[in-house]
Structure 1
Amino acid sequence: MYIKKILWAVALIGLIICGIIAYNIYGAMFSPNTAFNNEEAYIFVPSDASYNDVREQLEPLLVDIDGFDALAKQKKYTSNIKAGKFAIRKGMNNNDIINSIRSRNIPIKISFNNQNSIEALAGRISKQIEADSGSLVNAMRDALFLSENGFNEATALGMYLPNSYEFFWNTNAEKFRDKMLSEYKRFWNDARVKKAQELNLSPNEVITLASIVHEESKKRDEQPRVAGVYLNRLRIGMPLQADPTLKFAAYQLPEYKNTVIRRVLNVHKTIDSPYNTYINKGLPPGLIAMPDLSAIRAVLNAEKHSYLYFAADAERFGYHKFAKTLSQHNNNARQYQRYLSSQGIRK
């Protein structure tokens, strides 16, 4: 009888212990464990992250980090870290959190425009995805990649069309570059390639001309007319005489570093550079800036007219006065030069 009581007591204690263990396991798995008030919090897990790196980000977000540790070890997450951006919703339990950070990498939207060099673009992108600017520059300037895809150092920036795109945060430099090539090819569909051919231009040349148009005019309603002027000049073998190309050429020289040219002078027209479109006919070797898509479309759908000249309009800021004859243009140009002088703008 005494032995039976002992056995019953042992069994009862065992049940109690099992119950406590089951309760603790249930609590570790299914009790809410978030410590923040927002609806969601995010963690960014690098490609080479250890569990301690993840834990460091999670600790301020959780009520009980030790309970999370125990379940993460049990579910083998500690030895199977996944890179990416992950969301933790308010009220999530440890089981939900582990499932989220193990398998629910969230795509992000990245965007860029007006990045006027590969280095500037790389810097912009590196602030939005995991890849650092150095690896991005190396990938984007890779000589073999460029030659295999019809680009060179001068035209490389033209592959990156300013817009918003979806990526995973942990995208590396090569994958970013390769996806942007796919987006470039998607943009240059058969219809756009045909329009370029009708202008006797390649896609690279369209983007080069668009970069000049964009630097001349940010007004979308005027860009097709500006593009028409340059196409007229190309058609008759007249130099483009585009002031933005002079500025670009000047900025490559040491004496113009960290300066802003507000007024193009005759001295700029003598700069020895393939980008000097006053002394070199045709298009320059590559784009001078990253054009907006509106400028590319403006070239492909340029206004058909007889204008050969244009000068900035002092009365309509950002717009231009167009002319068919040199004498009319010189008159428009003098008006604008007088305006610059009245504003004290000498260079």
Structure 2
Amino acid sequence: MTNRIHPGIKKILHNIEKVIAGKQEVAKLSLVALLADGHLLLEDVPGVGKTMMVRALSKSISAELRRIQFTPDLLPSDVMGVSIYNPRDMDFQFYPGPIMGNIILADEINRTSPKTQSALLEGMEENSITVDGVTYNLEKPFFVMATQNPIEYEGTYPLPEAQLDRFLLKMKMGYPTLDEEIDVLQRAQKVSPIDNLHPVISLQELRQLQLDIKEVYVDESMRRYIVELSSHTRSHENVFLGVSPRGSIAMMKASQALAFIHERDYVLPDDIQYLAPFVFAHRIILRPEARFERVQIEDVIEQVISRVSVPIQKHVAKYE
């Protein structure tokens, strides 16, 4: 896969690198989700930079960041907003909630009840919310970046499959290396680098990039390759529930975004294979006996990739 990066994307990545040391892959995948008009779920332990990543991304594109701290007592109205009766006008007035923004940080999303979790569903899927029977459109771009802690399970509510399926990608931040962590300490010694971050592209430019990505060419052989991979997850001996057609669509959109980031106007099998663990893993449920035997979903995805023949793209030459 080429190492060239789209100039506009390179500016954003460089900006994020000023704040988050050594997380180029996480930053790039975050942009894949954003540019593909999808959503991202970050699952990792506290203190590795999940929130800082979202803040750096929003500051880089001059977007309105709204943070929702999910707690057990959070209500759906705390997320979407509420209609309050105004006696002067003798009518109800809508007060929008924090979901009415460009980039939404849903912090520790698994700490709130399923009822409140589902308040995000309509917005993530339809780009609109309904309050008291009235539908309100969300401003584009609308990007949800949710975080959850995989260690503490007491007082948490695991995300149901319907909610997980709304996220285009799921990934982990991971701990920094020794040198990277030393660099983090040096940067944070005096002033937080996030305070000196400035936008490098506008919202209008971001919207245009999202439109440009839809024009990235996906050959019929690539579409078939995606569907065959999804189909093989459904028939794998260790899988109870495989990747749905929505997962296939998510893979196609993500691969278009990745190809665009690397300054290509066509999708390659390498794009699909690279993205498979991030797009497919949270859409697969293992059989109970497989979980008992400690089978890893990542190993299942590797097996699926090895079993499906890689297509030879016939139309690459005309783009080179």
TM class by shorter chain equals under 0.3
Normalised to the residue count of structure 2, the TM-score between the two structures is: 0.24
Q: Which TM-score applies when normalising by structure 1?
A: 0.22
Higher helix share: 1
Higher relative contact order (CA 8 A, sep 6+): 2
* Structure ID, larger Rg: 1
More strand by share: 2
